[in-house]
Amino acid sequence: MPGRTAQNEGATTATRILDVAEGLLQTRGYNGFSYADIASELDVTKAALHYHFPTKADLGEALVTRYAERFMKALAAIEAGDDDPRAKLDAYADLYAQVLQGRRMCMCGMLAAEYQTLPEPMRARVLAFFDENVVWLERVLERGRVGGVLAFRGSAAEAAMLIVDAMEGTMLVSRSYADPARFRSVAGGLLDGLVGGRPDAAPTGS
């Protein structure tokens, strides 16, 4: 990739703005960065940013829309693979683990914290992201149960919500410790305990 810089020189300006703003949003939150921050990283003026994204609400909506679309494509890619259901769940957890690199939080988890301060269009996108995650997981879980390779208590919908919420939560906490290994340990332990798919290790000590 010749000529590429940290700000992705080969891309359109709008895309480069989104790339920088995305990093700031996932690191500092929607209320934790300004147009001035983006401008200084890209070495352009604030006015130029307002040409591409007139208001911060416009920018925020574009950011969460792009993020959600990219995430759904990644889910579709996992879906298309020929792995077994447990491997799909591991791949799902790995999506979050990748985001956690560079001390980034899941964008929608971050926005969930700031939910009460968000413009309405952003709120709707955040909830849609969680809904779509739950639907995807529900399908994987249900198929795994029908196929006899996954076993879990309760409904697939409840298990799916638990997985989404636990991913967001352990990401949130592990990021504060700057410890991606903590995330991997907790996420792996959740999947082991929830759906099995491995030789059932006898609980120790009893």
64 binds, among a second copy, DNA, none (CB under 5 to 8 A by kind): none
User: Which of DNA, a second copy, none does residue 98 bind (CB under 5 to 8 Å by kind)?
Assistant: none
Residues 56-115 that bind a second copy (CB under 8 A): 103, 105, 109-110, 112-115
168 forms part of the interface with a second copy (CB under 8 A): yes
Stretch that binds a second copy, among 34-42, 67-75, 76-84, 172-180 (CB under 8 A): 172-180
The CA-based dihedral angle spanning residues 156, 158, 159, 165, taken in that order and rounded to the nearest 10 degrees? 140
Residue of 7, 8, 27, 56 interacting with DNA (CB under 7 A): 56
- Whether 164 and 108 have beta carbons less than 8 Å apart is answered as no
Gap between the Cα atoms of 79 and 132, Å rounded: 13
Residue 140 class from Cβ within 10 Å (0-12 exposed, 13-18 middle, 19+ buried)?
Answer: buried
Under the binding rule (CB under 8 A), the answer on residue 45 touching a second copy is no
57 lies in the binding site for DNA (CB under 7 A) = yes
d(CA 20, CA 15): 9
Using CA atoms, how far apart are residues 100 and 27, in angstroms rounded to an integer? 10
Residue 177 contact partner, candidates DNA, a second copy, none, CB within 5 to 8 A by sort of partner: a second copy
Indicate the residue among 81 and 169 with the shorter CB distance to a second copy.
169
Decide: is 47 part of the binding site for DNA (CB under 7 A): yes
Q: Which residues, 6+ apart, have CB-to-CB distance to 168 below 8 Å?
A: 106, 108, 109, 112
Residue 11 binding DNA, by CB under 7 A: no
Which one, 13 or 176, has the nearer CB to DNA?
A: 13
The window from 32-40, 103-111, 158-166, 186-194 that contacts DNA (CB under 7 A) reads: 32-40
The Cα–Cα gap between 111 and 117 comes to 9
CB of 78 vs a second copy, minimal distance in Å:
21
Distance CA 167, CA 144 (A): 20
> Which of a second copy, DNA, none binds 34 (CB below 5-8 Å, type-dependent)?
DNA
Residue from 55, 98, 117, 176 binding DNA (CB under 7 A):
55
Judge residue 109's burial from the number of C-beta atoms within 10 Å of its C-beta, 0-12 exposed, 13-18 middle, 19 or more buried. buried
